[in-house]
């Protein structure tokens, strides 16, 4: 077993990995930028080291600094989480060269699957259905136009190294090719350092379904079934479910077998995800493979009962997968809502700031993967996701009702979040019926007025005001009855109690280098 693992990430995923390590009795090393000095993942780890200024390019993406900290701290392995360096083959290669275990696939596999054109070619050769498109990289507008004549309009113009909703444009006619080509090429160069492009046929009203796989170093590959990830804004997922609603058992078994074929074709080791587009006739097409842990891994954990982070660590140690495919079953239904510090009413603009109050929902079937605490500062430099709320129910209806209840309990003061937006989605008739595609938010949300989106907002504000008046009235009566000194003393005790609760949460103490 590893003695010490460095977590090369921040926020809720760094806390999530640290928790798994503690259950395995492995010490953890956190790294942090200047903006994250007081972050929860820093407080929660056994050791913490600074790695640079706030911008991620100078801290969380600084390979040399992270490797230096790993050596200095005596870390046996590095877990990259997701985002940042998680799918960076150069980082995985450096770990190998310096004798540090990279908890993930080999640099060669990361390279192959990170190149979307190469990934398409490998999957096509393995018998995995792919979206019709260009066979290779396109180097000019003229080449794009020639492929468009074969594929047809509309099509997606994509960056070879793209991901996270960046480096892609929908092109509906030849008139849009020139501007889309320049925009995608520029964005790809700035975001990924790789301006290469390719074309894929645009599938109308698709569902976004993905398959979680696990593979060990001895050739055993299993899938952990499907996740529905069609609720997206700006091509980024915000609500995920498992199992995917409306998918029949025959399709589910077939897409699972196809995912295993794809993972075997590339010699995959570890936890990974194959993403597919599902059309209205239930045909599915390979989209891409994520060679890392996914943000939405928690819903899979909940329905199959396997801790994916622990499984990653065991595989990295050279262990065998203890399960065969027949052992894996789905139980119940899980839903995840990504909680962002953003203003949904103003085009989902990030909303950094200090969290002045925080109350997380609790109760049966509720899990909080949270990266903040009351009093924490949400910095402007990183992705605005601050937490994930996961619920489980015996069926989809119970899971939806439980998520509605949990969202009502969720309270964040000091910053804006998308909690109200999630509440709107969870009550939408199309969502409740499972009748949606990746265009759901564009079709239903952007076309509505604020009054239509939040019809009960004024009632809620009025109710809150009335409740505040009642509390103030009761407080005044208390002052008159007991005198001003004792309530003042009670308030001070309350403050100290609150601080103790925050400080004892980390557990084994904080050691910061």
Residue 17 and residue 150: Cα distance in Å, rounded?
46
Virtual CA dihedral for 430, 434, 437, 443, nearest 10 degrees?
Answer: 10
**443-470 burial: b if 16+ Cβ within 10 Å, else e:** ebbeeeeeeeebeeeeeeeeeeeeeeee
The pLDDT score that the predictor gives to residue 190 is 86
H/E stretch holding 388 reads strand 385-393
- Count the Cβ atoms, other than its own, within 10 Å of residue 225: 21
Residue 472 in this model has a pLDDT that exceeds 70: no
The pLDDT score that the predictor gives to residue 165 is 74
Lowest mean pLDDT among 149-153, 328-332, 384-388, 491-495: 491-495
| DSSP string covering 2-51 | -SEEEE---HHHHHHHHHHHHHTT-EEEEEEEGGGTT-HHHHHSSEEEEE
Residues 6+ apart with CB under 8 A from 322: none
Instruction: Let me know: does 276 contact 285? Beta carbons within 8 Å.
Output: yes
Q: Which residue has the higher pLDDT, 184 or 498?
A: 184
Q: Using one digit for the tens of pLDDT, what is the confidence trace for 64-97?
A: 999 999 999 999 999 999 999 999 999 999 999 9
In angstroms and rounded to an integer, the radius of gyration of the C-alpha atoms of the chain is 24
CA 413, 445, 293, 34 torsion-angle sign: negative
**Residues 13-39, mean pLDDT to the nearest whole number:** 98
Q: Using one digit for the tens of pLDDT, what is the confidence trace for 262-273?
A: 999 999 999 999
Q: How confident is the model at residue 58 (pLDDT cuts 50, 70, 90)?
A: very high
- By DSSP bridging, strand 4-7 and strand 333-340 are unpaired
| Residue 173 exposed, middle or buried by CB count within 10 Å (0-12, 13-18, 19+) | exposed
User: Is-catalytic flag, 94?
Assistant: no
The pLDDT score that the predictor gives to residue 116 is 87
**Residues 486-503, mean pLDDT to the nearest whole number:** 31
Residue 341 in this model has a pLDDT that exceeds 50: yes
Residue 481 in this model has a pLDDT that exceeds 60: no
Residue 444 in this model has a pLDDT that exceeds 90: yes
Residue 510 in this model has a pLDDT that exceeds 50: no
Q: Using one digit for the tens of pLDDT, what is the confidence trace for 121-156?
A: 999 999 999 999 998 899 899 999 999 999 999 999
**490-509 burial: b if 16+ Cβ within 10 Å, else e:** eeeeeeeeeeeeeeeeeeee
Residue 255 and residue 211: Cα distance in Å, rounded?
8
Residue 468 in this model has a pLDDT that exceeds 60: no
- Location of structure tokens 């949606």: 436
Q: State CA 504 to chain mean position distance.
A: 28
**Residues 289-316, mean pLDDT to the nearest whole number:** 98
Lowest mean pLDDT among 192-206, 321-335, 340-354, 366-380: 192-206
- How far lies 325's CA from each of 77, 329, 330, in Å? 29, 9, 12
Catalytic residue among 292, 302, 338, 402: 292
- Count the Cβ atoms, other than its own, within 10 Å of residue 218: 11
Instruction: Let me know: does 52 contact 34? Beta carbons within 8 Å.
Output: yes
H/E stretch holding 228 reads strand 221-233
Q: Which residue has the higher pLDDT, 204 or 6?
A: 6
Instruction: Let me know: does 293 contact 238? Beta carbons within 8 Å.
Output: no
Beta partners for residue 223, in sequence order: 213
Residue 93 and residue 76: Cα distance in Å, rounded?
15
Virtual CA dihedral for 249, 254, 257, 263, nearest 10 degrees?
Answer: -120
Instruction: Let me know: does 211 contact 274? Beta carbons within 8 Å.
Output: yes
- Sheet harboring 155-163: ordered strands across? 166-171, 155-163, 197-201
- Location of structure tokens 């990030």: 350
Whole-model pTM: value is 0.83
For the chain, the average pLDDT equals 89
């Amino acid at each position: 077993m590893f003695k010490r693992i460095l977590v090369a990430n921040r926020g809720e995923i760094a806390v999530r990995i640290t928790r798994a390590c503690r259950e395995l009795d492995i010490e953890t090393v956190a790294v942090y930028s200047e903006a994250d000095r007081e972050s929860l993942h820093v407080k929660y780890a056994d050791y913490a080291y600074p790695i640079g200024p706030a911008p991620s390019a100078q801290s969380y993406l600084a390979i040399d600094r992270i490797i230096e900290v790993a050596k200095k701290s005596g870390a046996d392995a590095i877990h990259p989480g997701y985002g940042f360096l998680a799918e960076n083959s150069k980082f995985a290669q450096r770990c190998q060269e310096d004798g540090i275990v990279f908890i993930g696939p080999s640099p060669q596999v990361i390279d192959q699957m990170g190149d979307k054109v190469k990934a398409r070619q490998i999957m096509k050769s393995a018998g995995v259905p792919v979206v019709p498109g260009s066979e290779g990289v396109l180097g000019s507008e003229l080449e794009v136009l020639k492929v468009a004549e074969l594929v047809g309009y509309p099509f997606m113009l994509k960056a070879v190294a793209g991901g996270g909703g960046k480096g892609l444009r929908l092109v509906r006619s030849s008139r849009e090719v020139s501007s889309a080509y320049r925009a995608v090429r520029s964005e790809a160069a700035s975001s990924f350092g790789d301006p290469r492009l390719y074309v894929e046929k645009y599938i109308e009203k698709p569902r976004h379904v993905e398959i979680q796989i696990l593979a060990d170093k001895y050739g055993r590959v299993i899938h952990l079934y499907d996740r529905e990830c069609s609720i997206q804004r700006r091509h980024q997922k915000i609500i995920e479910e498992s199992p995917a609603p409306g998918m029949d058992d025959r399709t589910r078994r077939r897409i699972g077998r196809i995912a295993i074929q794809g993972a075997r074709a590339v010699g995959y080791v570890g936890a990974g995800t194959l993403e597919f587009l599902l059309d209205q006739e239930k045909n599915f097409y390979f989209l891409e493979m994520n060679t890392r842990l996914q943000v939405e891994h928690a819903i899979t954990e909940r329905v199959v009962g396997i801790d994916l982070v622990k499984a990653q660590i065991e595989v990295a140690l050279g262990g065998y997968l203890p399960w065969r495919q027949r052992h894996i079953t789905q139980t119940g239904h899980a839903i995840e809502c990504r909680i962002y510090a953003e203003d949904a009413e103003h085009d989902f603009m990030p909303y950094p700031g200090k969290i002045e109050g925080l109350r997380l929902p609790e109760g049966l079937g509720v899990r909080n993967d949270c990266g903040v605490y009351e009093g924490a500062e949400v910095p402007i430099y990183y992705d605005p996701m601050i937490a994930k709320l996961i619920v489980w129910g015996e069926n989809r209806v119970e899971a939806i009702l439980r998520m509605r209840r949990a969202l009502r309990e969720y309270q964040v003061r000091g910053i804006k979040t998308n909690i109200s937006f999630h509440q709107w989605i969870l009550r939408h008739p199309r969502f409740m019926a499972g009748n949606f595609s990746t265009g759901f938010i564009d079709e239903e949300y952007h076309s509505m007025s604020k009054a239509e989106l939040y019809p009960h907002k004024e009632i809620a504000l009025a109710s809150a005001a009335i409740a505040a008046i009642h509390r103030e009235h009761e407080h005044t009566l208390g002052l008159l009855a007991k005198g001003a000194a004792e309530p003042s003393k009670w308030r001070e005790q309350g403050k100290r109690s609150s601080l103790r609760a925050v400080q004892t949460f980390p557990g084994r103490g904080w050691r910061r280098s």
